[in-house]
């Protein structure tokens, strides 16, 4: 049992993950930027902003001081939205000892640099070898309810991945191990964009066949980007790829899917995020994935279509016609091992 685990971020995922950590730690300390959340967790064992009905374990407490959160922590999980990851880690850096392992729960690609989330954390906290990433079909709402789920953890250091497996695994949460950090991160980022497309299609009346086409062609898109980044294409067939893609594209819990539906009804990204209080990671990723794909000469027609809807004022009918008018090619074009990753701009 670990003495103290710090969770940086009090959103839905940061809150839900405490359910898995609490039985395996003497204390779980959640860092939150919001005083109301800190008070709610410490006084009522509930997060007043996210998963309000979920009662946190008695050994979970909160603070808005990063120094206090890290004071006795022997492991840290980072669960903040991707646009705020770098700035948060920069503030956290003075309090994280160089031998403390870090698990990154954030999904995405940083705009402007092409950095994956583990890259960002390594640059700000140092010690790439002590960093791990987690992904899989894991909606926070269901994790907090104890429903059966699974995830994959990857790290360049097997002992780090094993440590986080041991503090998270339980009968309702299966954890598998991998060394393909980049593959897992690319899967985690691109599937959110595909889910927005599925939401748009569903709202426009698409049937099951159409949604199945979007998901499978989306998976091919995920795989092309992953292979270009030097990842193992088999990763895309697993929990971080196909598993997370299905959950994110079909679930009522998916903010990316439900945002796609709202977008098709005419609601803007700003309106949706203000109404729900959640960051739509797929909307953030659409630009950065497109930049990354262009840099590596990878075709990403679904990502390009979502980007056009979000940021170019494109008409949805024109975008759909553009996708349907594409020439058919070999099903698995571009999914050939041997791609390379030249690093993000800040490396």
Residue finishing a domain among 179, 212, 237: 179
Whole-structure pTM value? 0.91
Q: Do residue 123 and residue 243 come from a single domain? A: no
**Count of the separate structural domains present in the chain:** 2
Please report whether residue 345 resides in a domain.
no
Amino acid 162: pLDDT? 98
Q: Considering the domain boundaries, does residue 169 fall inside one? A: yes
How far is 7 from 28, CA to CA, in rounded Å? 7
The whole-number pLDDT of residue 334 equals 77
Same domain? For 286 and 319 the reply is yes
Query: Domain of 202: which CATH number?
Result: 1.10.1040.10
Whether 346 is in a domain gets the answer no
What pLDDT score does 336 carry?
65
pLDDT digits (tens, 9 = 90+) for 176-205: 999 999 999 999 999 999 999 999 999 999
22 with 71, same domain: the answer is yes
Q: Do 153 and 19 have their domain in common? A: yes
**Shared-domain flag, residues 87 and 165:** yes
Q: What domain range includes position 27?
A: 2-179
Residues belonging to the active site: 191
**Domain contains 128:** yes
Residue 164: CATH number of its domain: 3.40.50.720
In a domain, 347, yes or no: no
Q: Are residues 13 and 149 in the same domain?
A: yes
* Residue that finishes a domain, picked among 179, 202, 218: 179
Q: Identify whether residues 233 and 306 lie together within a single domain.
A: yes
- Please indicate, yes or no, if residue 151 is contained in any of the structural domains: yes
Residues 41 and 164 in one domain: yes
Q: State which of 149, 179, 209 marks the end of a domain.
A: 179
C-alpha span between 281 and 54 (Å, rounded): 23
Q: Are residues 95 and 169 in the same domain?
A: yes
Does residue 344 lie in a domain region?
no
Q: Are residues 133 and 198 in the same domain?
A: no
Contact 276, 255 (CB under 8 A): yes
Residue spans of alpha helices (H) in the chain: 12-16, 18-21, 35-44, 66-70, 85-92, 117-125, 140-145, 158-168, 181-203, 208-228, 244-250, 255-264, 269-276, 281-295, 301-311, 316-324
- Residue 337 in domain: no
Residue 211 is predicted with a pLDDT of: 93
Query: Cα–Cα distances in Å, from 158 out to 24, 147, 177, 269?
Result: 20, 27, 8, 39
Q: CA separation (Å) from 70 to 9, 10, 74, 216?
A: 13, 15, 8, 42
- Both ends of the chain: CA-CA distance in Å? 35
Neighbours of 283 (CB within 10 A): 24
- The residue ranges of the chain whose pLDDT is under 70 are 336-347
Integer Cα distance of 31 and 238 in angstroms: 31
Residues 12 and 154 in one domain: yes
Domain shared by 220 and 171, yes or no = no
């Amino acid at each position: 049992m670990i003495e103290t685990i710090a969770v940086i971020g009090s959103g839905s995922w940061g809150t839900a993950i405490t359910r898995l950590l609490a039985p395996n730690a003497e204390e779980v300390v959640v860092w939150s930027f919001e005083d109301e959340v800190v008070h709610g967790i410490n006084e009522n064992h509930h997060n007043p902003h996210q998963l309000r009905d979920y009662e946190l374990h008695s050994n979970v407490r909160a603070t808005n001081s990063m120094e206090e959160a890290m004071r006795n922590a022997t492991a840290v999980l980072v669960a903040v939205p991707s646009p705020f990851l770098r700035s948060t880690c920069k503030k956290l850096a003075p309090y994280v000892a160089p031998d403390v392992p870090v698990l990154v729960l954030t999904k995405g690609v940083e705009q402007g640099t092409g950095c994956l989330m583990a890259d960002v954390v390594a640059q700000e906290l140092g010690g790439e070898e002590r960093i791990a990433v987690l992904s899989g079909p894991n909606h926070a709402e269901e994790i907090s309810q104890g429903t059966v789920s699974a995830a994959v953890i990857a790290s360049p250091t097997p002992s780090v991945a094993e440590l986080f497996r041991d503090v998270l695994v339980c009968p309702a949460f299966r954890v598998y191990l991998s060394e393909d950090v980049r593959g897992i991160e690319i899967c985690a980022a691109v599937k959110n964009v595909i889910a927005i497309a599925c939401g748009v299609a569903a709202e426009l009346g698409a049937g099951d066949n159409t949604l199945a086409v979007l998901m499978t062609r989306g998976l091919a898109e995920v795989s092309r980007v992953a292979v270009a980044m030097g990842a193992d294409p088999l990763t895309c067939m697993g929990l971080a790829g196909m598993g997370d893609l299905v959950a994110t594209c079909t679930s009522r819990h998916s903010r990316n899917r439900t945002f796609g539906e709202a977008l098709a009804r005419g609601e803007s990204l700003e309106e949706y995020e203000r109404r729900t209080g959640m960051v739509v990671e797929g909307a953030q990723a659409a630009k950065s994935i497109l930049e990354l794909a262009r840099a590596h000469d990878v075709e990403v027609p679904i990502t390009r279509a979502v980007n056009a809807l979000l940021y170019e004022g494109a008409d949805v009918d024109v975008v759909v016609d553009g996708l349907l008018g594409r020439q058919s090619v070999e099903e698995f074009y571009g999914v050939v091992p041997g791609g390379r990753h030249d690093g993000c701009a800040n490396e």
